[in-house]
Amino acid sequence: MQPEVHALMAALRETPMLLRKHGEKFASARLDELEARLARGDWTAVESAVSEVTGGMGSLRDRVLSAANGDAITRPEETAVNAQLDAVITEVERTARIAAAVFGIQLVR
């Protein structure tokens, strides 16, 4: 497997771990599925990863971990944890775009 795919899979693995730590179940399950698809050689997961993090409403760019949203996080933790979430989401996007370029995948976003 290409190193670019390994890098994307690592980013996809890290993001749901952070989300689950704070009680989020739905997006983390979608990211787990993307990682599994990549492991099976399904390169359409590369485009799906970009869409998951940069898409419109409902993408991970819109997700904020907050006590007010019912997440398992305290108010004092919110700023630092959301900065960490932004960093891992950015890494998913960065590695997915690199993998797309390596495999000649045309991205819409």
pLDDT in tens, 3-20: 999 999 999 999 999 999
> What is the distance between the alpha carbons of residues 7 and 5, in angstroms, rounded to a whole number?
5
Q: Which residue has the higher pLDDT, 25 or 84?
A: 84
> How remote is the C-alpha of 19 from its chain's centroid?
10
> What is the distance between the alpha carbons of residues 109 and 61, in angstroms, rounded to a whole number?
13
Per-residue confidence (pLDDT) for residue 55, from 0 to 100 = 81
- Number of other CB atoms surrounding residue 29 within 10 Å: 12
- Extents of the domains making up the chain: 3-103
pTM for this one? 0.92
Per-residue confidence (pLDDT) for residue 79, from 0 to 100 = 98
At position 95, the amino acid (one-letter code) is: T
Is residue 109 pLDDT above 70, yes or no?
no
Token code pair at residue 14:
């890290």
Per-residue confidence (pLDDT) for residue 108, from 0 to 100 = 77
pLDDT in tens, 46-100: 999 999 999 877 789 999 999 999 999 999 999 999 999 999 999 999 999 999 9
Nearest to 81 by CA among 95, 67, 97, 100: 67
